Amino acid sequence: IQAIYHLVHSYPYLLPDILMVGLLSGICLIVGTMIGSGIFISPKSVLLYSGAVGPCLLIWTACGVLSTLGALCYAELGTMITKSGGEYPYFMEAFGSIVAYLYSWTTIMVLKPSSFAIITLSFAEYASTPFYPGCSPPLIVTKCLAAAAILIITSINCLSVKLASYVQNFFTAAKLIIILVIVGAGIVLLAQGKTENFSNAFDGTATSFGAIGLAFYNGLWAYDGWNQLNFITEELKDPFRDLPLAIVIGIPLVTVCYVLVNVAYFTVMTTTELLLSPAVAVTFGDRVLYPASWIVPLFVVFSTFGSANGSCFTAGRLVYASGREGHMVKILSYINVKRYTPAPALIFNGVLAIFYIIPADINTLINYFSFAQWFFYGLAALALIVMRFTRKDLDRPVKIPVVLAGIMVLVSCYLVLAPIIDQPELEYLYCTIFIFSGLILYYPFVYRKVNWGRKIMRPITMHLQLLMDVAPPEKTE
On whether the CB atoms of residues 286 and 295 are closer than 8 A, the answer is no
Q: Are strands 470-471 and 335-336 parallel, antiparallel or unpaired?
A: antiparallel
Q: pLDDT tens digits, residue range 28-76?
A: 888 888 887 667 665 667 777 777 788 888 988 999 999 999 999 999 9
On whether the CB atoms of residues 104 and 318 are closer than 8 A, the answer is yes
Q: pLDDT tens digits, residue range 232-241?
A: 888 888 899 9
Average pLDDT, the chain: 83
Residue 19 has a pLDDT of 54
Q: Residue 325 and residue 130: Cα distance in Å, rounded?
A: 47
Lowest pLDDT segment from 206-210, 260-264, 313-317, 374-378 = 206-210
Q: pLDDT tens digits, residue range 120-148?
A: 988 888 888 778 877 778 888 989 999 99
Residue 14 has a pLDDT of 40
For the four alpha carbons of 181, 182, 183 and 184, in that order, the dihedral sign comes to positive
pLDDT bracket for residue 252 (50, 70, 90): very high
On whether the CB atoms of residues 134 and 155 are closer than 8 A, the answer is no
Per-residue pLDDT for 456 more than 80?
yes
Residue 7 has a pLDDT of 44
Q: Residue 50 and residue 63: Cα distance in Å, rounded?
A: 13
pLDDT bracket for residue 364 (50, 70, 90): low
Mean local confidence (pLDDT), 78-106? 92
Per-residue pLDDT for 23 more than 60?
yes
Annotate 92-107 with b (16+ C-beta within 10 A) or e (fewer).
bbbbeebbbbbbbbbb
Lowest pLDDT segment from 201-205, 449-453, 467-471 = 201-205
Which amino acid is residue 297, in one-letter code? P
